[in-house]
Chain A
């Protein structure tokens, strides 16, 4: 059996869902162990065990929460040299990218990044990655050992396997922390009532909303539906809404039951992050907008007029 490691991601003590998604895939690929570093790692190990990790390497050292990349890369490097895994899975997330990049450079092995799937192939592993922003999919054979693959969130569905993990406490190899970037403050910006990553319905806005002053229309619809509010890169770059709301290649990948795109044209950059949605509803003035060609229900019309009416209709239906 191949030895597959999952680099779990903790955010201030909470296991991030990407870790469970990776474990679900890892179970198909071999014997699974996980690495949990930082505050809450021991509690995390129990959850990781339920999702299929047989053993979890754990350190609760505060440096993992406070410093970017350096302490985790050094610690995992030491583990790799002892444990010789065949494959290490990371999330293609901001925090894991920092660690995986440093680790690959230390080990001198390269990696495959931005993957959408991983499979066993010819005694090794293959990964599929988007080309041209998602228009094509390339299958890459991963040639190094360990194979390091970073997978986009929401590529796999998390599922519990019902096991328990043994915990192995490890010595952190933190390295020279004076040569690491330190997180000195955390600011919560998006007053998200419903998290984009966890929402079953998402209402997302683009340039067609015509200005930040119209985003409250989307918030009102989202409130009525119990949905989260997202945005296209164009309006985030323009400073209308914070980055935390961005859906797409350089933002979040989402997979809700329903995705309502209001005034979003559907550039590849955006659709790669939401085309896994079960149902897509699109409202766009431009009948030629690419988003209308992938929507289950497309409406050629003005989002500014339709969204408030829809909010009222939903409220009336729900009897609010």
Chain B
């Protein structure tokens, strides 16, 4: 079974984040593999262990995104495809999906695994767009993924619980943290990753015509923050204080 996992490098969410002069996310600082994509890699590796085959990472991003790709390879993915072009900085979800689709198509995968949404952009639009462009069913928000023959079966998280969703391969799956804690890269894995193939692909090789962007950033402002109210130390009577507050706001 051939499994493609899409991965993205994002600015380290635990580091201070900055904007560029044109109000885009500054990607110049510390960067990491998107934690949501680590679940994708983990899900792909588990399926490979169960069914054999290979796990291919596909990423779009600047040259330094190679570090995030290497992280996925050291977790155990077999090889990677990296689409890198300076003109892609600030690409919107549709352009990103078009580029990923063009890079993935020649691989003819049985399964494409994505995170549900990137941690930095949070649009959640690339997976359904990618499914559409690849002509694949989308079995999404999966906390569990199983492959039986040429069928993919997932437990799809819902507001009430989950749905059992089935799709015919080739299919696209998005995974949540429910698929299990991503494995750490072992020293052996890190060493092995150094010699794994990372195929660089230029934008021009994909034959994508860049459409007009979906949006322009007009401005960025600080979000309204709530003012801190009263803060008390629990001296054994905190419950009474909370109750008094609840009564005061007529919640009790």
Q: Are B166 and A105 in contact (CB under 8 A)?
A: no
Find chain A residues with CB under 8 A from B138 CB.
68-69, 98, 102, 181
The reply on A232 being an interface residue by CB < 8 A is no
A-contacting 9-mer, from B57-65, B75-83, B219-227: B219-227
Contact with B along A77-110 (1 / 0, CB 8 A): 0000000000000001010011111101110111
The one of A106, A136, A140 in contact with B132, judged by C-beta atoms closer than 8 angstroms, is A106
Count A/B pairs, Cβ under 8 Å. Answer: 281
Q: Are B215 and A110 in contact (CB under 8 A)?
A: yes
Bound together, the chains give a CA A249 to CA B159 distance in angstroms of 14
The one of A102, A250, A258, A287 in contact with B249, judged by C-beta atoms closer than 8 angstroms, is A258
Bound together, the chains give a CA A94 to CA B138 distance in angstroms of 12
Find chain B residues with CB under 8 A from A98 CB.
128, 138, 140
Chain A contact surface mostly: mixed
The reply on A3 being an interface residue by CB < 8 A is no
The one of A281, A295, A306 in contact with B234, judged by C-beta atoms closer than 8 angstroms, is A306
Find chain B residues with CB under 8 A from A139 CB.
217-221
Query: Nearest Cβ distance between residue B189 and chain A, in whole angstroms?
Result: 23
Q: Are A68 and B139 in contact (CB under 8 A)?
A: yes
Q: Are B234 and A182 in contact (CB under 8 A)?
A: no
Q: Are A293 and B164 in contact (CB under 8 A)?
A: no
The reply on A137 being an interface residue by CB < 8 A is yes
Q: Are B157 and A141 in contact (CB under 8 A)?
A: no
Find chain A residues with CB under 8 A from B163 CB.
183, 185-187
Bound together, the chains give a CA A314 to CA B168 distance in angstroms of 53
Q: Which A residues from 115 to 167 make CB contacts under 8 A with B?
A: 126-127, 130-144, 150
Find chain B residues with CB under 8 A from A1 CB.
none
Q: Are B242 and A250 in contact (CB under 8 A)?
A: no
Bound together, the chains give a CA A105 to CA B143 distance in angstroms of 26
The one of B97, B116, B139, B218 in contact with A181, judged by C-beta atoms closer than 8 angstroms, is B139
* Chain A minimum-CB-distance residue to B214: A110
Find chain A residues with CB under 8 A from B227 CB.
294
B-contacting 9-mer, from A21-29, A52-60, A210-218, A297-305: A297-305
Find chain B residues with CB under 8 A from A137 CB.
220-223
Bound together, the chains give a CA A260 to CA B160 distance in angstroms of 22
The reply on B127 being an interface residue by CB < 8 A is yes
Find chain B residues with CB under 8 A from A142 CB.
214-215
Q: Are A109 and B94 in contact (CB under 8 A)?
A: yes
Bound together, the chains give a CA A200 to CA B246 distance in angstroms of 12
Bound together, the chains give a CA A168 to CA B184 distance in angstroms of 55
Find chain B residues with CB under 8 A from A171 CB.
none
Contact with A along B177-191 (1 / 0, CB 8 A): 110000000000000
Bound together, the chains give a CA A16 to CA B41 distance in angstroms of 34
* Chain B minimum-CB-distance residue to A11: B159
The reply on B129 being an interface residue by CB < 8 A is yes
Find chain B residues with CB under 8 A from A70 CB.
137
In the complex, the 7 A-B pairs of residues with the closest C-beta atoms, listed nearest first = A101-B128, A110-B214, A301-B234, A189-B161, A309-B239, A113-B123, A296-B229
Instruction: Give A residues with C-beta under 8 Å from B.
Output: 11, 68-70, 73, 92, 94, 97-102, 104-106, 108-114, 126-127, 130-144, 150, 178-190, 192, 197, 200-201, 225, 233, 236-237, 239, 242-244, 249-250, 252, 257-258, 260, 275, 278-281, 283, 287, 292-302, 305-306, 309-310, 312-314, 317-318
Identify 9 new A-B residue pairs, CB closer than 8 A, beyond the known A133-B122, A244-B160: A105-B97, A110-B214, A112-B215, A181-B137, A182-B166, A184-B164, A189-B160, A244-B158, A283-B242
22 residue pairs A–B, Cβ–Cβ below 8 Å: A69-B132, A69-B138, A70-B137, A101-B126, A108-B94, A135-B17, A136-B220, A143-B213, A181-B166, A183-B156, A188-B160, A188-B161, A225-B251, A250-B176, A257-B249, A258-B251, A295-B229, A298-B229, A299-B234, A299-B242, A306-B239, A310-B243
